[in-house]
């Protein structure tokens, strides 16, 4: 049986984590602002439903990767001091994951928006 009070408590914890991460992580702030601008552009260009789905997926992927990166960095800092070479490697690998997700989102964005810009220029 679903316990509504426990469910709302879980959502509360999740939103607390999201807002804390957005508040403390500069990269996530930038990614959130860029995502909002991309969604506004998509709205004004009236992209189709499939394009909306793809944009939502890649935006979510980038934000999810950044949140996981932030969590992994905190775990690494707790387990080992910052000067440990493995901690640096873990942080570099997680940053690479965010970078790959970001590059993928840029590629998808160009594929989606380029034809709309061509129509606009003609």
Q: Does a structural domain hold residue 110?
A: yes
Q: Does a structural domain hold residue 19?
A: no
Mean pLDDT of the region 32-42: 97
CATH of the domain at 86: 1.10.287.3610
Q: What is the pTM of this model?
A: 0.86
Of 36, 42, 35, 47, which Cα lies nearest the Cα of 105?
A: 35
Q: Does a structural domain hold residue 32?
A: yes
pLDDT of the residue at 87: 85
Range of the domain at 76: 27-121
The count of structural domains within the chain is 1
CA dist., res. 91 & res. 71, Å (int): 10
Mean pLDDT of the region 75-83: 77
């Amino acid at each position: 049986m679903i316990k509504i009070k426990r469910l709302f408590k879980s959502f509360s914890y999740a939103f607390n984590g999201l807002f804390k991460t957005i508040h403390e992580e500069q990269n996530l702030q930038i990614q959130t602002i860029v995502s909002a601008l991309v969604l506004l552009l998509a709205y004004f260009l009236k992209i189709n439903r499939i394009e909306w789905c793809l944009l939502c997926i890649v935006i979510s992927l980038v934000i999810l990767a950044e949140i996981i990166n932030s969590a992994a960095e905190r775990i690494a800092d707790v387990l080992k001091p910052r000067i440990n070479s493995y901690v640096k490697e873990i942080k570099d690998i997680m940053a690479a994951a965010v970078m790959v997700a970001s590059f993928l989102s840029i590629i998808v964005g160009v594929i989606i928006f380029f034809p709309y810009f061509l129509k606009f220029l003609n």
